[in-house]
Amino acid sequence: MSDYESEQIQVLEGLSAVRKRPGMYIGSTDVNGLHHCVYEVIDNSIDEALAGYCTHINVQIKKDNIISIEDNGRGIPVDPHPKYNVSALEIVLTKLHAGGKFERNSYKVSGGLHGVGVSCVNALSEWMKVTVKRQGKIHCIELVRGEVKKPVQCVGESSETGTCVEFIADREIFETVDFHFDTLSKRLRELAFLNKGVTIEIHDRRLEEEKFHIFKFEGGIVSFVELLNKGKKPIHEKPIYFLHEENDITTEIALEYNENYNELVYSYVNNISTTDGGTHVSGFRSGLSRVFTEYVKKYELDKKNKLAVTSEDAREGLTAVVSIKMPDPQFDGQTKTKIGSSHIHGIVREVVEKKLSEYFDQFPQHGKAILQKAMQAAAAREAARKARELTRRKTALSNESLPGKLADCSERDPALTELYLVEGDSAGGSAKMGRNRRFQAILSLWGKMLNVEKTRLNKVLENDKLHPIIAALGAGIGDDFDISKLRYGKIIIMADADVDGSHIRTLLLTFFFRYMTALVEKGNVFLAMPPLYKIWHGKKIKYAFTDPERDLAVKNDFPDVQPSIQRYKGLGEMNPDQLWETTMNPETRNIIKIASEDFVAADEMFTILMGDDVAPRKDFIYKYAKEVTNLDI
């Protein structure tokens, strides 16, 4: 038995706790935690904007992944703190739970709640430099891994005000320090929508040709909804907008219904993106449901079928932004992805009931169009329920819960298993024989599956091409999808490298994005990368995935001979050993993880490429036709 005495009890002083357990403060040390550090600093600038003192924020990704965030707010105080006799700037950067967010006179509304944001970023940085312009002076402090290297000192004069934070993330802490421009740009665009009139810039100076965006939206969240619905057909003239202020709580909502079938709701509290929702979202949905139930009866829209309109029906085709600004929000955890303030549910519900009822009374023609869509959704939901029941009955009668074309694996831990979705029976047969049966399962697909962008859930459930995928994954679909029930940790799409294969990949990705969104969000979906070429002479064989790789292999590996070259047209041309060696062996294969750094842009792209409206798709093809590099003809 090992010793366990008092000397084993440690007290982590200062910021050492953050470096020891960074996940407790920023969620993780992967790319998500890396970007969260930037958000923590930006949120301080946004809090200055909420207080009415900041109109411009400039974010730069410099060479070596140095981050710079500068605003024109009041500037962090630099004078000595009366209690600690140290510059307030140093205290903010080096002590947990220190900041101006606890005192109501400084910030009535703030995203920063715990006072650990910028000090955590400091603790997790190789170095940090903060420059403050305030009261005619410029002050600067430099720190290394949380410790002060150069204390606060006056370095010049300026008539401007503001704070500039520069840092480089610590490679000892993070799995990667490579910042993604699109990920940061998405967040800054959201903040510009949520704070109308504030200019937010982002510049990527790592490449020779600089990338940048400048965001400023006078329309606020109404402009946000218009962007989210770009390429979709709205069923009323313009977005519906609510603004209500009461007891220091501001409720701002913009919503618009379109002819599509998916719900898209973005929610925020004090500009913090609450990706896991919370009481403000539940209040919003509850208010919608009540108004829809009342006005279906008022307009007598369902005399025949007696269908009850549910909250789910009321949200079909809905695009909405729900933004709450309030003092002392109660978030679940430091990363603030969900709000738990119970009184917000009732406040938001009452605002939605009052304002939406007024809109329906003022614009009855728009109200009836919206409600009729909900009635169609209710009818489709009833059909989907019957389809589910039929599926369950078939499953029970057959005593077989998994599809017949599934060759399952023996491993039962989802973290260790893979499911290959393989185009065609021929390739599926090769994959079954070539796989590692312990952890690799194979599901053969045949023919083109349904384009789910153009149909409702009931048609999806009835589709014989998609049903085996739903059954094999075992996690449900749509609102019922539960990723914790997923049977395979990796879902790998393996299709031919031609137009048909590309179409199948796109149809599957559309299905996952629309009806199993969490798979994409959590990084469970992958594309297999089979080689395009087999190059050989005698017993020597090389594979190439691109034309340049083919040419290089011929030059370097067969310098004195003329090798044979085969261009694979389909996966079925490979025997099981070749398929394992090139495409399925985790030690040698190439697979691409599907990720959505910008959900708004991804949503727009699926709408353009897979939606009903032909004109945007035509424009897209005209615009990018000359950039096509691999066209199978």
Q: In angstroms, how far is CA 191 from the centroid of its own chain?
A: 15
CB 439 within 8 A of CB 416: yes
- Catalogue the long-range contacts made by 559-562 (C-beta closer than 8 Å, 24 or more residues apart): 561/537, 562/537
Helix (H) or strand (E) holding 212: strand 211-215
3-state secondary structure 423-457: ECHHHHHHHHHHCCCCCEEEEEECCCCCCHHHCCH
- The count of residues in the chain is 633
Pairing of strands 564-567, 490-494: unpaired
Pairing of strands 125-134, 137-144: antiparallel
CA distances from 149 to 35, 123, 137, 142, 335 (A): 25, 13, 21, 6, 29
Tokens of 531: 């080689």
Q: How far apart are CA 103 and CA 115, in angstroms?
A: 11
| β partners of residue 491 | 419, 525
Q: How many other CB atoms are found less than 10 A from the CB of residue 374? A: 28
Buried b (16+ CB within 10 A) or exposed e, 294-317: ebbeeeebbeeeebebebbbbbbb
Residue 485 DSSP one-character state: G
Tokens of 419: 């499911």
Any residues with CB less than 8 A from the CB of 404 and at least 6 apart, and which? none
- CA end-to-end span of the chain: 71
CB 444 within 8 A of CB 572: no
Using DSSP's 3-state secondary structure scheme, residue 260 falls into coil
Report, as residue numbers or ranges, the catalytic residues.
423, 496, 498, 500
CB 504 within 8 A of CB 448: yes
Report the alpha-carbon angle 215-219-225, nearest 5.
90
